[in-house]
Chains A and B, each alone.
Chain A
Amino acid sequence: MRTPDSEGASIVMIGSFNPSIFQPLWLGTQQLIRPEEARNATITTIQAEITDFSTEWFQLQVLQTRFTIVSADPRQYGPLRDLVIGMFAILPHTPITAIGLNRHFHFRMSSIDVWHKIGHLLAPKEPWHAIMKGPGLRSMTMLGRREEGNKGILEVKVEPSVKTQPGLFVEVNEEFKPPSDGQPEGAQWVPACLAAQWDATITSAETAAEHLLDLVKE
């Protein structure tokens, strides 16, 4: 894959969380992260309503209804999945109603012209000229499925990069819900979902980004 200027991956869950459980020392005690990582974590806040801290390779933010863990280090995408699997194997009764697997990229485009070209290809401007001057693509999200029959809802978002000029931002999100038969309960479905889907989401994000860049290959 073409090397991005920057990238990241994250796991986001919607449910009912107890933020103050998610502390670096708890993760260290459970041997889910290294003891040094637990001791040296940078803590922004740990309260009943919100936890936010970061280590060298991930940032964790937990609200009462939302869990977000992010890594901007592509070496750590496997360990990121393992960490979340570990947390919810220990907390299997946490009610989780949805999980989103995400990967994003910022790619530098070779020129402004190429940058415009991808916008024109994805969103032709002709239909817009009658109602505005200088129409440009601000954001586009396409919805679908990674594969026929796959349970996840796939969204691919394309925007001008806010970090790299001229640059392209591509974000791939795949969202999964608990099994419809109602079993297993709580977070018991989460480890299996992550084990089965994470690598595929990470790889499909690369494929999607590569495909979009190939549209304007010179």
Chain B
Amino acid sequence: MIPSTSYQDAILRPGSSDIGVLFAARQEDLQKFLYRRLAKPVPSGTNYITQALFEGQEPRAPEDVLVRLPSLRQSKWKVTVLQKWVGRVEEVQADRFSAALVDATNSRNPIEQVEFDMREVSESDRSLLAVGATFYWSIGYRHTPGGQVERISSLRFARLPRLSELDVTRMFAEADQLAAFLERD
């Protein structure tokens, strides 16, 4: 199992050998997720702990550094989704766009056609708005840390890596091969 919400039972010692990561053994200790460099052996003939520091001499950096890291954090807001859809843009106009929506809450619901005002789209997502683009639309409630319940509607466009020229060339080659196969008879 690869659990995500807790680190109990896991002790990880990556191959680099000078790094150790200690995980909390108990649920209540999850905030004490520790990461440290393993101590290097002190050269024989020195007494590291009681070593005198002379004037002008920089204190020797501790070999065993302990850094306290947070465990996986909780969101500041609690969001309750009432319904969510995955949309595909079908037409873009100056101030609005239309899309086909698949209900991601209940896949048995039929595909719907919906028109959105352009102002629903975040400024930095507008460059992604084009025919064929995929987006996620959710409506629900957000509970703020201050106790306020807000009705929310959020729209986020899918961001997938651009295809490289090599990928495009390969896909066209595969399509040509498939077409040739289908047209063989």
Contacts and interface: CB of A to CB of B under 8 A. Distances in A.
B5 interface: yes
Contact of B161 (A44, A72, A86): A86
A33 B12 CA distance: 30
Contact of A68 (B4, B28, B122, B161): B4
Contact of A100 (B2, B27, B69): B2
Range, interface on chain A: 35 or more
A102 B2 contact: yes
B74 interface: yes
Contacts of B14: 49, 63-65
B21 A63 contact: yes
A25 B3 CA distance: 28
B130 interface: no
A99 interface: yes
Interface in B1-41: 1-5, 12, 14-16, 19, 21, 27-28, 35
Given A70-B4, A162-B27, A3 B80 contact: yes
Interface string A25-47: 00000111111100000001100
A82 B160 CA distance: 6
A3 B83 CA distance: 12
A178 interface: no
Given A6-B74, A82-B160, A74 B5 contact: no
A179 interface: no
B2 A162 contact: no
Interface stretch (A7-15, A128-136, A208-216): A7-15
Given A79-B156, A86-B159, A86-B161, A68 B72 contact: yes
Contacts of A188: none
- Give chain B's interface residue range (CB within 8 Å of chain A): 35 or more
B159 A31 contact: yes
Contacts of A44: 69-70
A33 B73 CA distance: 20
B99 interface: no
Contact of A63 (B12, B80, B136, B162): B12
A167 to B, nearest CB: 13
30 contacts: A3-B80, A8-B4, A12-B4, A14-B2, A33-B159, A34-B125, A35-B124, A44-B70, A59-B72, A63-B21, A72-B79, A74-B80, A74-B81, A74-B140, A75-B81, A75-B84, A78-B86, A78-B158, A82-B159, A85-B160, A85-B161, A86-B160, A100-B2, A102-B5, A104-B4, A153-B1, A171-B3, A173-B3, A173-B4, A175-B1
Interface of B: 1-5, 12, 14-16, 19, 21, 27-28, 35, 67, 69-70, 72-75, 77-81, 84, 86, 104, 122, 124-125, 136, 138, 140, 154, 156, 158-162
Given A32-B159, A74-B84, A78-B136, 5 more contacts: A49-B14, A66-B12, A75-B79, A90-B161, A173-B4
